[in-house]
Amino acid sequence: MKCVYNVCRISIDLMRRLMEGEAYQLMGNAGFQLDGKALQMFQKSFLQVQSLLDHNRILINEINQNHDSKIPDNLSRNVGLIRELNNNIRRVVDLYSDLSSNLSKDVNSSESDSRLDAKALHKRIRPA
């Protein structure tokens, strides 16, 4: 369970950086910009991820407490809690996958727009 908790902690740190604009600035320095709509989509997705990870932290604590108690009812309750945790992790992976896909589309679109702008600019400067 500690491994899952560490992944949660790392993801939360990444999300905070994204929400604070640090990663957005890095993306801008890499040569592409996100429009307001794309940034809102990223923020919405990261808020969903944050909520799931917060809930997972609570689940992990409860699972650990139930395990430590060694009470049969608590141990059998862990089966459902672990299923819920696994489903949440799947949802987080799906959200990250969607974000990655959307980011790739935005980057490709941005690069394509930049190339079109460069071609148009190049045609305008060329002597007749």
77-93 pLDDT, tens digit per residue, is 999 999 999 999 999 99
CA distance 42 to 40: 5
Cα–Cα distance measured from residue 18 to residue 39, given in angstroms and rounded to the nearest whole number: 10
Total of domains in the chain: 1
Containing domain of residue 88, as a range? 2-125
| CA-based R_g, the chain, Å | 22
List pLDDT tens digits, range 9-49: 555 555 566 555 555 554 455 444 556 777 788 788 889 99
What is the rounded CA–CA span in Å between residue 58 and residue 8? 12
